[in-house]
Structure 1
């Protein structure tokens, strides 16, 4: 029953140079303490700490680092609370997590992040002072050092109440990210979302509603609607990821495994590929007819979709689903009335499902129909245009 409003976590600047303390001024063994500076506009939970928030409002807080309202490196439980209108210059406009986070019957709405995860960020994926565009992600040394160092993801559970007269969904809505994951971002770790509405979020790069790389992800009884990504994946992006070695060369990322069950992915939009869902390697060059590079290995993302409706989504190509060098299994799932706007003669255009050098498998109870201009492109077994 508490409101925390107008908090501001700023990174301490030493006089003279206006920047952070030189390394020589930080006592041995204290470097790790410095990484929390500027995190958690309303609340910072350090390693070994825990916080239980019930019927709490975190409003209009700001962090120069990560976690506009909360930065959690320990254990945090949010129940029947509101995280609204917060901002982080780094990752996690509402909440940034590297520990164990449980969000129950809670609204995480109208937050913004300069980096990843407008609503919630589970790990940062890269240092928030590092590269911001896709092409520069391979620059040597980025993400290895700095005040905050590498971000490590934790465990996130987001649930709503589904029984009783006072049942209330959790919401992740109208959040905005400068990079990936307008509503929810995860790089590594474990994320479970159920009985939750993810709507109206925006990502300036990929994953308007949800962006999950190298993550064990479960979306169950979730409504993903009306989200937008300027890049790929208006509703959801799932990727095994391509990790970048310190010398600028590629190395295999960790496996990404995702399941979407008993859910709806509807009316989302993407500026490039996968209006509803984008699965697989995300570095796709339009001018090369979707061929990324000759030496690319198959992405190790695996997506299972069952008992789910994918409807009314729009993208340049792959209006409903874009699968790039990865595997998707559809069970009792309907992909209908999605639209692709690509007019290029280089490409086979699919309003429903576009499979690029991957594998899409349907069971006999799944349906891909009434998509514009075609249902499928490339090899999608048992799909008819």
Structure 2
């Protein structure tokens, strides 16, 4: 049976709540009575203290048995002894808060959360519903283990990871987080110097300014997990990265970047400010951006996607599947069925305002994408693109059904097929503006055929 537990707030005062959990943590480290700082311990705090102490004591006894009477130096004194079994945290939101406070004070912990439990958070503890993570902490969940902000509570995210913090989530759902104003990371915020690992977990239905699900300025990995239904008021509906982000065997789906103010890049994933994003064997589907990059949007960042699908994403302006102002690599990727409503680049749009944009697309399929603008498959405004062993097929646009190449852009094709694309006006396969450079390299096996109403416009060596 799924249980839901709200914290007992001792009158609900936020400042008193923060003082209370600070006191619990202090007691866990020094042994001081909570009354020393003028705060009475709640039953939940007592339970957390007993749980952590009991597990630590058990670890001490096990160590003594293994040591067989040998003596040790003082180097390990005062530090928590990790226990592979973890410390159980019953289905009680107060106890979870207290356990994290104690874990931070003791240098970290592995906490085993209750299965079938919703830890319902009702108060803002410095911007989040749980204490800021400042040490290595693992939260192990199970079937239907959820951490959720009460919908009736004031807005706050679920978790913040600060410098020195290293949070691992295993089999946990994080949902209902919401930040106000310019605060990023509706579900989780990872600050510079922090680290986050999301494994077999879900980040769903959170709302933030940038990074509806997660905003990362440190290091983050998402593995065998789902990021879905999150909303950013500006950019990066699912995941925002300005550090290093790795997504592996995961689904990024149904997220939205609304761009209420500023530029909204990346309905699913948005990377910025020198961020490095690596996506392996994952799916990016049905995400939406009000501006650019329905699936993925980059600005001054580096993104590499391998063995993945980018399918059914939409953007109101440009880059239905992918938008980049940076460095992009696609290998063994299916970029299929994406749509950009107005400007173009139904599958992929690249621009080069900063002067460093370049894209390499290898062993990939760009198919059945569409736009009412230019470049149904690819829109290249001023960058350098290399297509190697790629297939551009079945895309639709006003001009450049397969590819639109602007006057200052360079497009090189090696062993690539541009087939059966459609333009309403001109350039069914490739539309090249005079001044742009298109290198077909037909000797490598590149073919541009069966496009409508014609194969190419202003492309040397193309059959027309």
Which aligned runs of 4 or more in structure 1 are off by greater than 3 angstroms?
A: none
Does the residue aligned with 1:189 lie in a helix, a strand or coil?
strand
Offset, 1:382:
1.5
In structure 1, what is the Cα distance between the partners aligned to 2:301 and 2:339? Answer: 24
Residues 13-34 of structure 1: per-residue CA shift (max 9 Å, x gap): xxxxxxxxxxxxxxxxxxxxxx
- Structure-2 residue corresponding to 1:40: 185
- Is 1:155 matched up with 2:299? no
What do the CA deviations read for 1:94-132 (whole angstroms, capped 9, x no partner)? 011111000001100000011221000102xxxxxxxxx
- Listed one character per residue, the Cα deviations across residues 161-209 of structure 1 (whole Å, up to 9, x for unaligned) are xxxxxxxxx0110000011000000011211001110010000111000
Q: Deviation at 1:73?
A: 0.6
Deviation of 1:10 after TM superposition, in Å, equals 1.7
Structure 1 runs not aligned, ≥5 long = 12-36, 124-151, 161-169, 242-252, 281-298, 343-348
Cα distance, 1:316 vs structure 2? 0.4
2:357 to 244, 256, 260: 256
Helix, strand or coil at the partner of 1:341 = strand
Distance 1:116 1:263 in 2: 23
Instruction: Verify the 8 A CA contact 1:70 1:95 in the aligned structure 2.
Output: yes
- For 2:269, the equivalent position in structure 1 comes to 120
Aligned to 1:291: none
Q: Measure how far apart 1:90 and its partner are.
A: 1.1
Q: Secondary structure at the match of 1:179?
A: coil
Larger Rg: 2
- Distance of 2:239 and 2:356 partners within structure 1: 25
1:68 aligned onto 2:212: yes
Cross-structure match for 1:93: 237
Instruction: Return the alpha-carbon distance in structure 2 between the equivalents of residues 272 and 216 of structure 1.
Output: 24
Matches within 5 A, 1:99-138: 99-114=243-258, 115-123=264-272
Q: Find the partner of 2:333 among 199, 222, 227.
A: 222
Matches within 5 A, 1:227-238: 227-230=338-341, 231-238=343-350
1:328 maps onto 2:415 in alignment:
no
Task: Output the CA distance in 2 between the equivalents of 1:42 and 1:218.
Answer: 28
Match of 1:375 in 2: 455
> What TM-score do you get using the length of structure 1 for normalisation?
0.73
CA-based RMSD:
0.9
Q: Report if aligned partners of 1:48, 1:74 keep a CA contact under 8 Å in 2.
A: yes
Q: Which residue of 2 aligns with 1:272?
A: 373
Higher helix content, 1 or 2: 2
Residue 277 of structure 1 and its aligned partner are, at CA, apart by 0.3
Give the whole-Å Cα distance in 2 for the aligned partners of 1:153 and 1:183: 19
Q: Which residue of the partner structure matches residue 436 of structure 2?
A: 358
What TM-score comes out, normalization by structure 2 length?
A: 0.60
- Equivalences for 1:178-217 in 2 at 5 Å? 178-213=290-325, 215-217=326-328
Q: Does the CA-based 8 Å contact 1:153-1:186 persist in structure 2?
A: no
Does residue 391 of structure 2 align to residue 309 of structure 1? yes
**Number of corresponding residues:** 284
What are structure 2's unaligned runs of at least 5 residues? 1-170, 259-263
Distance across 1 between alignment mates of 2:455 and 2:278: 35
Give deviations 1:324-359, integer Å, cap 9, x for gaps: 0210100000000000012xxxxxx11000011201
1:43 Cα offset (Å): 0.4
Q: Is the 8 A contact 1:109 1:175 kept in 2?
A: yes
CA drift at 1:254 = 2.4
Residue 61 of structure 1, CA deviation: 0.8
2:294 counterpart SS class: coil
1: CA distance, partners of 2:344 / 2:370: 9
Q: Distance in 2 between matches of 1:229 and 1:49?
A: 36
Q: Contact (CA 8 Å) 1:97, 1:153: kept in 2 or not?
A: no
Query: Secondary structure in 2 aligned to 1:9?
Result: coil
